[in-house]
Amino acid sequence: MVSIRDVSVAAGVSVATVSRALTVPERVAKATRERVVRVAAELGYSPNLLARSLRSQQSRLIIVLVTNIANPVLSRSIRGIEKVARELGYSVLLGDTQNDEEVEAQYIGLLAARQVDGVIVLSSRLHARVFDLILKANPEAAVVNACACLDVAPCSTVGVDDVGASRLMTEHLLSLGHRRIAVLTGPEESPHSRDRMFGYRLQLRAAGIQFDERLVVAGEFTMKSGGDAVDEVLNISPRPTALFCFNDEMAIGAIQRLNALGLSVPGDISVAGFDDIEFAAFTSPSLTTVSQPSDDMGRTAMQLLHRRLSGDDQVETVTLPTQLKVRHSTAPPRA
């Protein structure tokens, strides 16, 4: 079995440095830390987490709660969380709850039993009850809200300015000459959907265009709901010349349905999304969308959680920048 001394010899550092690099990495120079982690991985060294937790009263284990692990935005955030967690010496337990209250309670029970150190809540659809359960299980729990999924969260939060980003996309469509812009929303209970709707309405008002309730179609943040919504959009009279979908999956579903109906995107109708998932650049046509830094969201969330676990009680709200990605699915309306 590979020992910590084997790692220290191979990495050319002391045993104490190896221990610090794997347990309190923030106290070790980045180059040294990365060399130790690389050598430990190459040798197959696995520290005794149980013994470490008994000494430090920390498990070095965190939970990431999500409602749908298949969501591409959340998957990228998880990747960012895990990268920083490894650098800081933490392991990640992923809880895919599917909005099942019993499953949520089981994972939160680990926090109550002090078997995990903290929780990152990563979903656009988890409700306030989750935070209530967490704080009831452990009022001093280290928690980070990593998707701005609540209007008001009792903990540090990282997210993007959904209102501003939605205004940016609406302004892009207006600048192309579109005046009848339909929107495909997400679930009513989602703050993301509500904020994006607010940004859309603000930008219409700024352009002197009256909001038309008939141009609002409800979706579910899924490709299927995007495709299903197309018939409703096409039946609006007069027909919209652009469709702003509040996430990329719905936009991709809408484009597929429009193509199946023999309609041209953007010739007959422009389509825009939100998120910039990996598939967005490879749709036909490629999707104009709002890019949000999902990896950075995950990394920042883990850094915030680590600060909390290190004794910093300050509640922070971090808003990361978005970017408009103009591709081929939007164009001026036909005369």
- For the segment 133-165, what is each residue's pLDDT rounded down to a tens digit? 776 767 777 889 887 555 555 688 899 999 999
* 174, 31: one domain: no
Return the CATH number at 79: 3.40.50.2300
Does 108 or 185 have the greater pLDDT score? 185
Element (H, E) at 181: strand 181-185
* 120 found inside a domain: yes
Reply yes or no on whether the pLDDT at 101 is more than 80. no
* 169, 276: one domain: yes
* 300, 155: one domain: yes
Give the domain range for residue 77: 53-160+294-321
What's the pLDDT score for residue 49? 47
* 62, 156: one domain: yes
Does 325 or 26 have the greater pLDDT score? 325
If pLDDT is split at 50, 70 and 90, which confidence band does 57 have?
Answer: low
Cβ–Cβ under 8 Å, residues 293 and 320: yes
Burial grade of 6 (CB within 10 A; 0-12, 13-18, 19 or more): middle
Which of 13-27, 94-108, 265-279, 311-325 reaches the highest mean pLDDT?
Answer: 265-279
* 334 found inside a domain: no
* 328 found inside a domain: no
- 110: region left, alpha or beta (phi > 0 left; psi from -120 to 50 alpha): alpha
* 231, 262: one domain: yes
Helix, strand, or coil (residue 215)? helix
Q: pTM of this prediction? A: 0.79
* 240, 278: one domain: yes
Residue 141 carries which DSSP code? -
If pLDDT is split at 50, 70 and 90, which confidence band does 166 have?
Answer: very high
Cα separation, 113 vs 116, whole angstroms: 8
C-alpha dihedral, 250 to 252 to 256 to 259, nearest 10°: 110
* 281, 187: one domain: yes
DSSP of 270-305, one letter per residue?
Answer: EEE-SB--GGGGGSSSPPBEEE--HHHHHHHHHHHH
* 330 found inside a domain: no
If pLDDT is split at 50, 70 and 90, which confidence band does 332 have?
Answer: very high
Reply yes or no on whether the pLDDT at 53 is more than 80. no
What's the pLDDT score for residue 128? 62
* 186 found inside a domain: yes
Does 152 or 61 have the greater pLDDT score? 61
Q: Across residues 291-305, what is the average pLDDT?
A: 94
Cβ–Cβ under 8 Å, residues 312 and 98: no
* 121 found inside a domain: yes
* 123 found inside a domain: yes
* 123, 220: one domain: no
Helix, strand, or coil (residue 319)? strand
Mean pLDDT of the chain: 87
What's the pLDDT score for residue 237? 95
Q: Among 188-192, 197-201, 235-239, 330-334, where is mean pLDDT lowest?
A: 188-192
* 298, 156: one domain: yes
* 90 found inside a domain: yes
* 156, 177: one domain: no
What's the pLDDT score for residue 50? 43
Does 125 or 85 have the greater pLDDT score? 85
* 304, 214: one domain: no
- Which of these three, 14, 32, 47, is where a domain ends? 47
**Count of the separate structural domains present in the chain:** 3
* 282, 195: one domain: yes
